[in-house]
Amino acid sequence: MQRIFEYSGTMDPMSDDTRVYIYDSTLRDGAQTHGVDFSAADKAAITRELDAIGFDYVEGGWPGANPTDDAFFRSLPETTRGRIAAFGMTRRAGRSADNDPGLQAVVRSGAPVVTLVGKSWDFQCEVALGIEPAENVRMIADSIAHAATVAEEVMFDAEHFFDGYKANPGFALDCIKAAHEAGARWVVLCDTNGGTLPHEVFDIVSEVVKVVPGTHVGIHCHNDTENAVANSLAAVRAGARQVQGTLNGLGERCGNANLITIIPTLMLKMGMTTGLTDTDLKGLTKLSRSLDARLNRVPSKEAAYVGERAFAHKGGLHVSAVAKDPKCYEHVDPDSIGNKRLILVSNQAGLSNILARFDEIGMEVDRKDPRLARLIELVKEREFQGYAYDGAWASFELLARRMLEDVPEYFKVDSFRVIDERRWNAKGQLITLSEAIAKLTVQGERNMTVAEGDGPVNALDACLRKLLLPYYPQLSDLRLVDFKVRILNPEAATAAVTRVTIESADGSGVRWTTVGVSENLIDASFEALSDSINFKLHRDGATV
């Protein structure tokens, strides 16, 4: 484990007091995220991933709440390092715990851990539930005691605990004391509305651990003031030893506390231990991106620790300082969480950036080669025109290889024409058709063809492939997966310079990005399309 700074404030990593338990709520609270939908199979697969990396608790859902959660609990995945929790509510007012069907569904779900949520803010009891505070305390005690007779381990989530404590500390503490005394292994303090600040969490948890030992206290935060991570860390510093959160901070409104950030901070910077070993920790970047892939979300490039740009370096001096000693510009070693340094080729491009990039793609170049200086000049000149190579590695690689190696000319464009026509068709409908005609020389032969498409770029794409496929069958599995247009000088409006970025993929799962720039949108698109095809052909070793 790398700790760059041993700051005096951190705790002794060898004491037992350093063990923090990680409780994942991605499958329950995280499932509240707009646009996120887990199937029962997703839930089982994610549970296995969390178990394998060393999370202590995986909250699978709310038995009885919906068919997906029921299906998940009917066939619980086997776990070896973590335990699955079923989430539910304390019994309703005016019922006994064993006569409340909602509570019974949770307690008897088969999960080894049962987590029950209840109120701890007197105002909420009165306004939202319309019950007496004293009855609320009895509901907590009864429900926890009953669950403890069935489940291996029981927890109490104290909803609105911090707002409740500010309003009436005595009542809030009574609620969690009741849970603790009734047999809850953990009482978890929830900042339900997400409005509490780190110094408040620290002060309040410091009071709580005088009543319930910190090794029985957990924290559950929301990100409504961008403080969910800081609040969780403040609670740990005040003595709490369980942290609830979600992968990548999923959750309703502004999200839950992000375990992907909290875990490395606890382990690398605060001298704490978790169920993860240092080797497990190296799997964190993969865990984060695997969830995004499952949900078909674009991973956040800016994510702390695991984002693609979390260890990105721009510019000459900066990069050479990193090469001298990484701690000049890196707060932890990217390898410790399985991420890597990203050296950007930017308009401050220096030789060191470009050489670092060649290393990554396995291109062997003599650093004294005089053509390198010309390449740097060319990159700078093109970035000034509007090219952005730091997002378009394939175009950069083509540019470099064409200057330093022999790249075959797979095809040569003699001319092309794209026609977009809006007219009335025979049925009296107003339609717009796009049609592209291209004339290319391929392997010494002159060819021309025509294709239609939805819009000019789509038509041009169809036309190029139609013409090239007979010569290069490896293009059959080439797919365009994203297409972006950016106007570089919007004040020139429709005469502005346009940058088109295209992301492509093939059957092997590899993705690459290319860029084109022109005052003419069609020209820019053609350039990016052409780069994409050339990159694929060169990588696959196509011959002319």
Q: Is residue 340 a contact point for its own copies (CB under 8 A)?
A: no
Query: How far apart are the C-alpha atoms of 220 and 116, rounded to whole Å?
Result: 13
Q: Is residue 7 a contact point for its own copies (CB under 8 A)?
A: yes
Contact (Cβ atoms closer than 8 angstroms) between residue 78 and residue 108: no
Q: Which amino acid is at 40?
A: A
- CB atoms under 10 Å from CB of 309, counted, come to 13
Reduce the DSSP state of residue 197 to 3 states and report it: coil
State both tokens at 467. Answer: 């013409």
The least CB distance from residue 518 to its own copies, in Å, is 7
Residues in region 505-534 near its own copies by CB under 8 A: 518-523, 525-526
Window contacting its own copies (CB under 8 A); options: 105-113, 132-140, 316-324, 441-449: 316-324
Of 151 and 504, the one with the shorter C-beta distance to its own copies is 504
Q: Is residue 12 a contact point for its own copies (CB under 8 A)?
A: no
Q: Is residue 287 a contact point for its own copies (CB under 8 A)?
A: no
The least CB distance from residue 181 to its own copies, in Å, is 28
Of 76 and 321, the one with the shorter C-beta distance to its own copies is 321
Q: Is residue 224 a contact point for its own copies (CB under 8 A)?
A: yes
Window contacting its own copies (CB under 8 A); options: 19-27, 207-215, 257-265, 271-279: 257-265
Reduce the DSSP state of residue 298 to 3 states and report it: coil
DSSP states along 409-439: ---EEEEEEEEEEEEE-TTS-EEEEEEEEEE
β-sheet bridge partners, residue 407: none
Residues in region 356-375 near its own copies by CB under 8 A: none
Per-residue x/- mask for its own copies, residues 55 to 74, rule CB under 8 A? --------------------
Percentages (nearest 5) of helix, strand, coil residues in the chain? 45, 20, 35
Q: Is residue 453 a contact point for its own copies (CB under 8 A)?
A: yes
The least CB distance from residue 437 to its own copies, in Å, is 9
Of 19 and 166, the one with the shorter C-beta distance to its own copies is 166
Q: Is residue 329 a contact point for its own copies (CB under 8 A)?
A: yes
Alpha helices per DSSP H over 161-307: 161-167, 169-181, 198-208, 228-238, 259-264, 278-281, 284-295
Contact (Cβ atoms closer than 8 angstroms) between residue 524 and residue 498: yes
Of 145 and 458, the one with the shorter C-beta distance to its own copies is 458
Of 127 and 364, the one with the shorter C-beta distance to its own copies is 127
The least CB distance from residue 242 to its own copies, in Å, is 19
Tell me the CA distances in angstroms from 100 to 97, 124, 178, 450, one per residue in order. Answer: 5, 21, 20, 70
Residue that has been written with the tokens 């999960």 in this structure: 111
The least CB distance from residue 344 to its own copies, in Å, is 8
Q: Is residue 353 a contact point for its own copies (CB under 8 A)?
A: no
The least CB distance from residue 50 to its own copies, in Å, is 20
Query: How far apart are the C-alpha atoms of 445 and 544, rounded to whole Å?
Result: 11
Residues in region 111-150 near its own copies by CB under 8 A: 123-124, 127-128
The least CB distance from residue 275 to its own copies, in Å, is 21
The least CB distance from residue 325 to its own copies, in Å, is 5
Given 282, 314, 380, 402, the residue binding its own copies (CB under 8 A):
314
Determine the length of the chain.
544
State both tokens at 216. Answer: 């029985």
Given 62, 156, 305, 389, the residue binding its own copies (CB under 8 A):
305
Q: Which of 459, 23, 63 is nearest to 240 (CA)?
A: 23
Per-residue x/- mask for its own copies, residues 473 to 512, rule CB under 8 A? ------xxxxxxxxxxxxx-xxxx-x---xx---------
Q: Which of 216, 211, 243 is nearest to 229 (CA)?
A: 243
Q: Is residue 218 a contact point for its own copies (CB under 8 A)?
A: no
The least CB distance from residue 348 to its own copies, in Å, is 9
Query: How far apart are the C-alpha atoms of 432 and 452, rounded to whole Å?
Result: 11
Given 225, 273, 447, 449, the residue binding its own copies (CB under 8 A):
225
> Which segments of 67-145 are extended strands (E)?
83-89, 113-119
Written in H, E and C, the secondary structure of 481-504 is EEEEEEECCHHHHHHCCEEEEEEE
DSSP states along 303-366: -TTTSTTTTEE-SHHHHHHHHH-GGGT-SS-GGGGT---EE---TT--HHHHHHHHHHHT----
Residues in region 389-448 near its own copies by CB under 8 A: 390-391, 413-424, 432, 434
Residues in region 39-58 near its own copies by CB under 8 A: 39, 41
State both tokens at 350. Answer: 């220096």
Residues in region 172-211 near its own copies by CB under 8 A: 192-195, 197-200, 203
Residues in region 15-34 near its own copies by CB under 8 A: 32, 34
The least CB distance from residue 71 to its own copies, in Å, is 12
β-sheet bridge partners, residue 480: 504
